[in-house]
Copies of this chain bind each other. A is one copy, B any other.
Amino acid sequence: MKQPAIILIRPQLGENIGKAARAMLNFGLSDLRLVAPRDGWPNPDAGPSAAGAGSVLETARIYPTVEAAVADCTHVYATTVRDRNMPKPVVTAGEAACQMKALSAAGEQSAIMFGPERSGMTNDDVALADTVLTIPVNPDYGSLNLAQAVILVAYEYFTVRDNTPAYLPAHPEGLASKKELVGLMEQLETELTAKGFFRSEGRRGPQRRTLRNIIQNAGFSTQETRTLRGVIKSLVHGRPE
Cβ of A181 under 8 Å from chain B:
no
Q: Are B89 and A168 in contact (CB under 8 A)?
A: yes
Query: Is A73 engaged at the interface, CB distance under 8 Å to the other chain?
Result: no
Chain B: minimal CB distance from A137 (Å): 5
Beyond A219-B218, A220-B214, A227-B211, whether A235 also contacts B164 by CB under 8 A is no
Residues of B contacting A148 with CB < 8 Å?
23, 26, 148, 151
Most central of A168, A171, A199 by chain B CB within 10 Å = A168
List of B residues within 8 angstroms of A23 by Cβ: 148
A170 to B166: give the CA distance in the assembly, Å: 17
Q: In residues 137-151 of chain A, which contact B (Cβ within 8 Å)?
A: 137-138, 141-145, 148, 151
Residues of B within 8 A of A191 (CB): 235
A28 to B92, CA, bound (A): 17
The residues in A between 186 and 241 inclusive whose CB is less than 8 angstroms from any CB of B are: 188, 191-192, 195-197, 199, 210-211, 214, 217-221, 224, 227-228, 230-232, 234-236, 238-239
Residue pair B26, A87 in contact (C-beta under 8 Å): no
Does any Cβ of B come within 8 Å of A47's Cβ?
no
By beta carbon, the residue of chain B nearest A240 is B196
A222 CA / B36 CA spacing, docked (Å): 37
> Which 7 interchain pairs have the tightest Cβ spacing?
A218-B218, A95-B166, A196-B239, A197-B234, A235-B235, A90-B168, A195-B238
